Amino acid sequence: EVLVESGGGAVQPGRSLRLSCTTSGFVFDDYAVSWFRQAPGKGLEWLGSIRSPTYGATTQYAASVKGRFTISRDDSKGIGYLQMNSLKTEDTAVYYCSRDIDYSTYPSNPWGQGTLVTVSS
């Protein structure tokens, strides 16, 4: 059960970036996917989640990114996505994805290793 984030890098303020969360070792469409970030020296912040196809692949977002970030999934490829638009310097962080179980008390687990996004002019 492995998740690997990719797509991070340096980007200018105002630009967009799409992160991928490539999974293996489990049946991807049985699970939800969540995205988190951690700014340098700071704590963990949940960004949003997408439910499994069984629950309509509905999405839920943190207020801090709603309307700017979009989560999606490609179940045929086992990949989750985080589309980030209108990036700001304060979006600089390591971004993580995780596997989640819909409507369960079991928390996010496992997590990917993270990908660094640096927003700077």
Partner 1 sequence: DIKLTQSPSTLSASIGDRVTITCRASQSIGTTLAWYHQKPGKAPNLLIYEASTLETRVPSRFSGSGSGTHFTLTITSLQPDDFATFYCQHHDDHSGITFGPGTRVETK
Q: Whole-angstrom Cα distance, residue 11 to residue 115?
A: 13
Query: For residue 83, with 0-12 CB atoms within 10 Å meaning exposed, 13-18 middle and 19 or more buried, which class applies?
Result: middle
Q: How far is the CB of 70 from partner 1 (least distance, A)?
A: 16
Of the residues 44, 86, 90, 120, which one makes contact with partner 1 according to CB under 8 A? 44
Give the list of residues 6+ apart from residue 100 with CB closer than 8 angstroms, or none.
Answer: 31, 32, 33, 34, 49, 107, 108
Looking at beta carbons only, is 16 or 102 nearer to partner 1?
102
Q: Interaction with partner 1 in 61-90: which residues (CB under 8 A)? A: 61-62
Residues contacting 60, CB < 8 A, separation 6+: 48, 49
* Interaction pattern, residues 15-34, with partner 1; x per rule: CB under 8 A: -------------------x
Query: Alpha-carbon dihedral of residues 110, 101, 51, 63, nearest 10 degrees?
Result: -70
Can you tell me which residue has the tokens 């962080």? 93
State the first-to-last Cα distance of the chain, in angstroms, to the nearest integer: 37
Contact string (CB under 8 A) for partner 1, positions 89-118, x = contact: -------x---x--x-xxxxxxxxxx----
Q: How many residues sit in the footprint of partner 1 (CB under 8 A)?
A: 24
Closest approach of Cβ 11 to partner 1, in Å? 21
CB of 2 or CB of 10, closer to partner 1: 2
Contact residues for partner 1, defined by CB under 8 A: 34, 36, 43-46, 48-49, 60-62, 96, 100, 103, 105-114
